[in-house]
Amino acid sequence: MTTRLYTHPIYLEHLTPHGHPERPDRLRALLSVLEGEDFYRLDQIEAKAADEEAVLLAHPEEHLSAIRARLPAAPDDEEAPQPIIQLESDTYLSPKSLQAALTAIGAALGAVDDVFSGVAHNGFVAARPPGHHAERNRAMGFCLFNTVAIAARHAQRCHGAERIAIVDWDVHHGNGTQDIFAQDPSVLFCSTHQMPLYPGTGGKDETGVGNIFNAPLSPDTGSREFREAFTSRILPAIDNFRPDLILISAGFDAHFRDPLAQINLEEADFDWATGKLMERAEQYCDHRLISVLEGGYDLEGLSQSASAHITRLLKG
């Protein structure tokens, strides 16, 4: 089994204001853990930026143009502070944000190409900014473009995938992914998340065209409720769907240490969920599974949870 990690230094140059939870240190902490000897088999790849046209697989030109138009210019003095502008209530742009987002998309597209060509069996995209809150026409929730949605469309357009399953275990509901695919039966969207919590969507009654399976969790629940939601709702939906590719929106903010939510998962829960999805990938997808980093705002909780997740990917 070959597991590839896709990352790039440009992700550290997407800047947010001081004190913002989605900050470059998140990625630094995660990548630092992966330098350990336990990850010597991890095939690390420097991601390539996607062309802007890739954004249009999931977003209209107007959305791309709006991001481009708001992008601040870098100062002439390289030592000067980089400007940061507020795009939406909690979403920001700095001079390298568009390049970082396009490189995050490029990483996901490269991962799709690699699992369909057989170069890798699975992959982890260690990128920022995250993407799952970005709706078809709106950037929000720290997200500019919906990376996992663009990856799904790329798999369909370029590799003939007929059925894509997206599993989102970020503690916040992936409203953007649901918005993009709610009327598309070729894409299954399954989400576990805390409710009530930002962005306020994700009820069980939100079913799309029979392709949306939300499993909201109450605050102050934990492993038992999470695993029950997976076992009773998420995994049966995947078994009935029989996907050609599984994509994971891998947020690690349901960890008990995370400051933005109250779901009390531990590293073992992410290991378990990863294993269950890998079993389905082996059964239906010739092992094809790609995980894309979303949230996770406590540095230790994020790095240890992602470490457990990637360790499971490496076990095949």
3-state class of 270 per DSSP? helix
The catalytically annotated residue of 14, 121, 133, 287 is 133
- Helix 24-33 / helix 299-315 crossing angle, nearest 10 deg: 40
- Single-letter residue type at 101: A
| pLDDT attached to residue 77 | 85
Measured in whole angstroms, the distance separating CA 103 from the mean position of its chain's CA atoms is 14
Contact 212, 237 (CB under 8 A): no
Cβ(284)–Cβ(244) under 8 Å?
yes
**209 SS3 class:** coil
Residue type, 288: R
From the first residue on, what is the mean pLDDT of each consecutive set of 10 residues in the chain (316 residues)? 95 98 98 94 97 98 98 89 95 98 98 97 98 98 98 98 98 98 98 98 98 98 98 98 98 98 98 98 98 98 98 94
Q: Which pair of structure tokens corresponds to residue 263?
A: 């779901």
Could you tell me the two tokens for 53? Answer: 């046209």
Q: How far apart are CA 95 and CA 85, in angstroms?
A: 9
Q: Residue 133 catalytic?
A: yes
**Looking at residue 232, what is its pLDDT?**
98
The CATH number corresponding to 3-315 among 3.40.800.20, 3.40.50.620, 3.40.1190.20, 3.40.640.10 equals: 3.40.800.20
What is the per-residue pLDDT for 220?
97
Which whole-number Å values give the CA distances from 128 to 63, 83, 180, 219, 272, in the listed order? 19, 18, 20, 27, 25
AA letter at 192: T
Cα–Cα distance, 114 to 100 (Å, whole number): 21
* Strands 245-250 and 212-217, sheet pairing: unpaired
CA angle 208, 216, 272 (to 5 degrees): 105
Return the pLDDT at 1: 73
Confidence (pLDDT) at 76:
83
